[in-house]
Amino acid sequence: MSSAPSEPGPRRRQRRSLAARITIWYVAAFAVSLAALVAAIVPAVRGAVAHEDAVVVQTRVERHLALLVRRGLPAYQQAVEQAGALGDSNVAVRVRDAEGRVLFQRGDVGAAVRTASRTTSELRLELGADTDPWHAVADRLRPGMLALLAFAVLLALVGGFYVTRRALLPIRELATTARDVAVSGDLSRRVPASDGHDELTELTELFNRMLARNQQLVHGMRDALDNVAHDLRTPLTRLRGGAELALRGDDPEAMREALGDTIEESDRVLAMLRMLMDISEAETGLMHLERAPTRLAQLARDTVELYEHVADDAGIGLSVAVDTDVIADVDVMRMRQAIANLVDNAIKYTPRGGRVTLEIAADGGRALVRVRDTGEGIASEALPRIWDRLYRADPSRSRPGLGLGLSLVRAIAHAHDGEVHVESEPGHGSVFTIALPRAVSSSS
Ligand code: ADP
């Protein structure tokens, strides 16, 4: 326990780094995509600008040539010398004759950024322009683009971190609850429910359901242990008392008898322990049931066969009345145990000459197992208590029994999603019914 509180520290660090790591990955992916976008766009824009520029320079050559052809070299020369006469202040021009001799030159055409030429039969006009529209565009766009880029990356960073943290909130709450449960052992803790419909909401719901199930099981086991401890105290004390009493005397015959009683009492305690454990397991949902669609008629016949001799010896008529179509999803061994308990009681609490009938019937969606007897019946004030563990109605105390049979019947019925009830008329008999959900298909 002492090391437990130190555990959350490193885990929390790890958790934070997950949000940060996702954000960093996100921002990195975002930045790389942006860079790729710029890398793809820049050459295309640059090419388009260069193409436009070449067209412009070509148009200039045409204009210059038109002037030269129309007005002759001297006039053209004059127009060019008066800088700006053609609207072209920063151009270099060179005029050659058909043999390539330079007739006129202004500026250095060879050193210009972009050049263009036109040739007629007598002349060749070369024009160079120091235009650089791409750099002009880039210079103008750069500050705005950089600011935009910085803003986008910052937004991705802040937004990404916020969104990631929000998305991881259910996981953080899950971890907090799991840590609380691990540290305090308090199984009543639950992760706060969110109203989303995503995988994390489902995970939260499943986690809460798992906690609820664990809580139910742990409580069930605790209750079972309490009950068993409580219920065994009396017979064990009695056992010890008997042995102690026998030890005090020195009559070997009495001691032998006491030892015999002790063994008998021990067997009772063992049988009781087995039944108590069965009841507790069934009540808490820990009982392992191998359920399969089963024809209840067969179960009823098996049980009656088992009790035929007992009933004969007790002078009681035992019969079955079954609807063979009734099928229920049951663990054969456990259901047989429950039916046997009811038949056993019916024979035990019915006087010689009476009748016990085991019926299997259907009632809508329910399968009914009914044990009817013509016995002594149960007083109305005892009726609500007969299902309690260790309860035995007054007139029954003289007969063998542990007072656990009906508790087990009820626990088995509940474990099968069924119900039990009893109708009884003192002096006339009782009807015990197990009602189970009816199954449709059969494998037996
Ligand atoms: P046990 O039979 O060992 O006493 P059970 O739990 O089976 O314990 O039954 C509890 C009590 O219910 C019995 O002691 C008896 O008083 C009463 N009881 C059960 N079944 C019948 C029955 N068929 N007819 C009359 N009384 C019954």
pLDDT in tens, 191-200: 988 777 888 8
Predicted confidence at residue 226, as pLDDT, reads 82
Is the pLDDT reported for residue 147 higher than 60?
Answer: yes
SS3 285: coil
Lowest mean pLDDT among 80-84, 151-155, 274-278, 358-362: 80-84
pLDDT in tens, 71-114: 888 988 888 887 654 556 678 889 998 888 998 888 888 888 78
**CA–CA distances in Å: residue 17 to residues 159, 176, 356:** 16, 16, 74
Instruction: Name the band, by pLDDT with cuts 50, 70 and 90, for residue 343.
Output: very high
Number of H helices, E strands in the chain: 9, 11
pLDDT in tens, 30-59: 889 988 998 898 889 888 988 988 898 888
Predicted confidence at residue 441, as pLDDT, reads 55
Is the minimum distance from the CB of 386 to ligand 1 under 6 angstroms? Answer: yes
Taking the centre of ligand 1 as the mean of its atom positions, its distance from the CA of residue 406, in whole angstroms, is 7
Distance CA 192, CA 177 (A): 9
Q: Which atom of ligand 1 is nearest to the CA of 394?
A: 16
Taking the centre of ligand 1 as the mean of its atom positions, its distance from the CA of residue 342, in whole angstroms, is 9
Measured over the CA atoms of residue 405, residue 408, residue 414 and residue 415, the dihedral's sign is negative
Nearest CA to ligand 1 atom 23: 346
Q: Which of 332, 350, 364 is nearest to 432 (CA)?
A: 350
Predicted confidence at residue 444, as pLDDT, reads 44
Instruction: Name the band, by pLDDT with cuts 50, 70 and 90, for residue 7.
Output: very low
Nearest CA to ligand 1 atom 14: 392
Predicted confidence at residue 335, as pLDDT, reads 96
Q: Residue type at 355?
A: R
Whole-number average pLDDT of the chain: 86
Nearest CA to ligand 1 atom 25: 377
Nearest CA to ligand 1 atom 4: 403
Nearest CA to ligand 1 atom 11: 392
SS3 341: helix
Encoding tokens for residue 320?
Answer: 């079955």
Is the minimum distance from the CB of 272 to ligand 1 under 6 angstroms? Answer: no
How are beta strands 355-363 and 317-322 bridged, if at all? parallel
Is the minimum distance from the CB of 357 to ligand 1 under 6 angstroms? Answer: no
Distance CA 269, CA 111 (A): 116
Nearest CA to ligand 1 atom 13: 392
Nearest CA to ligand 1 atom 12: 386
Q: Which atom of ligand 1 is nearest to the CA of 346?
A: 23
Taking the centre of ligand 1 as the mean of its atom positions, its distance from the CA of residue 388, in whole angstroms, is 11
Q: Is 441 exposed, middle or buried (0-12, 13-18, 19+ CB in 10 A)?
A: exposed
Lowest mean pLDDT among 14-18, 170-174, 383-387: 14-18
Taking the centre of ligand 1 as the mean of its atom positions, its distance from the CA of residue 382, in whole angstroms, is 10
In sequence order, what E strands does 337-400 have?
Answer: 355-363, 366-373
Q: Which atom of ligand 1 is nearest to the CA of 407?
A: 6
Is the pLDDT reported for residue 392 higher than 90?
Answer: no
| pTM of the predicted protein model | 0.59
Predicted confidence at residue 333, as pLDDT, reads 95
What secondary structure letter does DSSP report for 189? Answer: -
Taking the centre of ligand 1 as the mean of its atom positions, its distance from the CA of residue 427, in whole angstroms, is 14
Nearest CA to ligand 1 atom 19: 345
